[in-house]
Amino acid sequence: EAGVAQSPRYKIIEKRQSVAFWCNPISGHATLYWYQQILGQGPKLLIQFQNNGVVDDSQLPKDRFSAERLKGVDSTLKIQPAKLEDSAVYLCASSLGREETQYFGPGTRLLVL
């Protein structure tokens, strides 16, 4: 069974530029999560989708971050404009349902200069 796919794996941009990350969850998984992991810290939830609807985006900085999950499958996370403090690993995870085991992708490592 294929795991959660993410791309790109690495991205370097300058501050004020925009960037987008893509996630393809495990087939059939209704719930999709985006986490931000800053170096030396545990992952922090940014946004959670149930199919194509948002369940929780309380910690998403909505002035610069946006995310969508069209058709309830793939998802994109966008940052515009990026700040230095956005440098982190962005993890995508999926699960069959809200209380099921979450499976994580390899992450996208973002460096903002």
Partner 1 sequence: GDSVTQMEGPVTLSEEAFLTINCTYTATGYPSLFWYVQYPGEGLQLLLKATKADDKGSNKGFEATYRKETTSFHLEKGSVQVSDSAVYFCALAHGSSNTGKLIFGQGTTLQVKP
Q: How far is the CB of 98 from partner 1 (least distance, A)?
A: 4
Decide: is 54 part of the binding site for partner 1 (CB under 8 A): no
By beta-carbon proximity to partner 1, the closer residue of 75 and 95 is 95
Q: How far is the CB of 75 from partner 1 (least distance, A)?
A: 16
Decide: is 33 part of the binding site for partner 1 (CB under 8 A): yes
Cα–Cα dist 56/34, whole Å = 11
Q: Is 67:48 a contact under the CB 8 Å cutoff?
A: no
Q: Give the residue from 111, 112, 99, 103 showing the smallest Cα distance to 23.
A: 103
Residues 64-103 that bind partner 1 (CB under 8 A): 91, 93, 95, 97-103
Cβ neighbors of 39 (< 8 A, separation 6 or more) are: 87, 88
According to DSSP, the residues that pair with 3 across neighbouring strands are none
User: Which of 24, 31, 36, 75: binder of partner 1 (CB under 8 A)?
Assistant: 31
Provide the residue type at 46 as one letter.
L
Q: Which residues bind partner 1 (CB under 8 A)?
A: 3-4, 31, 33, 35, 40-45, 48, 55-56, 91, 93, 95, 97-107
